[in-house]
Amino acid sequence: MTRKPVHLALYDTFADWETGHATAHLARAGYEVRTVTPAGEPVTGISGLRVLSDLTLDELRPEDSALLILPGADRWDEGDDLAPFARTARAFLDAGVPVAAICGATAGLAREGLLDERAHTSAVSFYLAATGYAGGDRYVEADAVTDGNLVTAGPTEPVAFAREIFRLLGVYDETVTDAWYRLFHDSDPEAYAEYAKATAR
């Protein structure tokens, strides 16, 4: 079965650790992961990791994608430079294509009004409240939250973020997803055997 690619949005200061579990295991499950930068330029993450771009933001279309992943970055809170990524997230959600946002990207979605009517989470509630958004009553104290086609998580929850993405895309059945989570979140040795057996090729 041919799958549409997953698109990973990248911009300078992106938080390298937040999406690695998701993208690595999506790739292992057969998804192509393609990088999207503002103008097709290489970008540098918060660690200094430099990443090449596969396409520009203007070239990205919801109908060509299985999922848009938005990592956090200092730049989400430094002005409006990343607002076009939040507007693209709106286009994806309007088209019924999933979006997953973590850390600072959730603030970008809040500013765009995308969290006003959806259950969501982030780093802490007052971080999003500072955006002036109208969705404070939909904030959930949880490691990660899925509402419809939108996944949100805080910066300390990359494993839960990945878990929700896997569930949303149907990457694994629930038993395998649970074993994967217990392995990578809890270092559960029994989960290793369950996950390895279920995913053996």
pLDDT for position 130:
96
Residue of 107, 130, 171 whose CA lies nearest to 179: 171
Q: Can you list the alpha helix ranges (DSSP code H) found in 20-112? A: 20-28, 83-94, 104-111
Residue 52: other Cβ atoms inside 10 A: 11
d(CA 122, CA 110): 10
38: annotated active-site residue: no
| Residue with token string 């029994």 | 190
1 pLDDT band, cuts 50/70/90, is low
Q: Which residue out of 57, 73, 103, 179 is catalytically annotated?
A: 103
- For 16-48, the pLDDT digits (tens) are 999 999 999 999 999 999 999 999 999 999 999
More confident residue, 197 or 92: 92
